[in-house]
Amino acid sequence: MKLLLLTAVTMIAFAANSVLNRAAVDSGLIDPSGFALIRVISGALVLGMVLSVRRSGQAMQIFVRRRLVGALSLSAYLIGFSMAYVSLDAGLGALILFGTVQVTMFVVASLRGDQPAARQMIGAGIAFLGLLIALWPGGQVAATPTIGAAAMVFAGLGWAFYTLAGKAAKDPLAETAANFLCAVPFVALLMLGPQLDASFSGIFLAVLSGAVTSGLGYALWYAVLPQLKAQTAAVVQLSVPIIAIIGGAVLLGEAVALKVVLATVLVVCGIALAVTVSKSSQAGRS
């Protein structure tokens, strides 16, 4: 029961990032640049504090080759994420992000020689169809904003490669803290400018996103992850777009279009099909 509760809290934290970003940027409380910069600084500070009070584990390693990949991919995610929510609803943004991450990781794994089973290929195809519906430029339903969608796809690519780069990490918390710290100058360099504009409420929402739903949320995820089976960990993340859609509708008054509902069902079902391949099926391919 405790593991279930902690996992649910973690998924809510992940979805809350979409709602907080959308609430702050769409209402004009803060510009996307300021939100991204404050978020990464807040996350770095909180993760650094969590790391400092931990009694065991690896210390942050800053000057290593893998840090460049981690910091750049994390920066791409943070920047694209903030820019996307100028025009995307919270739920649709989470759907595009989540779908892009999963499809990208599936393609990379295939290119690396991990031959997919037929069930995985069918699942990936269904998920990709759902993404196409979410990104469809027009027709009888409202079109998805092109720039916002492109920014979120960029964020999804960044998060996918950030995740892939960290798979071999011996101490994920220390790696994440170091990546957040090293991402600060990259985000500052790319986002600082005369357009920076923030109110106290906007700064508060950015700090809340960086310190709590990002920093502490990631720390909590790393705490429960070792207790979850790999397939279970993949499946539970399917709840994030759904939670974000509900949060956007309830807290921000966002309309839930039929297109988004259909796309969500396809993405969730497709990825669930792909990541729940039985061990016997995998053994049969080896």
Question: At residue 116, does pLDDT exceed 50?
Answer: yes
Question: At residue 184, does pLDDT exceed 90?
Answer: yes
Of the pLDDT bands very low, low, confident and very high (cuts 50, 70, 90), residue 18 is very high
List Cα–Cα distances, 139 to 95, 136, 143, 274, in angstroms. Answer: 20, 8, 7, 30
DSSP string covering 56-96: SSPPP--SSHHHHHHHHHHHHHHHHHHHHTTTS-HHHHHHH
Per-residue pLDDT of 132-158, as tens digits, reads: 787 766 544 455 688 899 999 999 999
Q: Where are the domains of the chain?
A: 2-114+144-254
Do residues 205 and 23 touch, judged by C-beta distance below 8 A? yes
Amino acid of residue 115? Q
pTM of the model: 0.81
Span 26-50, mean pLDDT?
92
Q: What is the pLDDT of residue 58?
A: 67
List Cα–Cα distances, 109 to 54, 84, 118, 255, 274, in angstroms. Answer: 33, 27, 15, 36, 13
Q: Of 48, 69, 30, which Cα lies nearest the Cα of 191?
A: 30
The kind and range of the H/E element at 256 are none
Q: Which two tokens stand for residue 129?
A: 């169809």
- DSSP structure class, residue 198: B
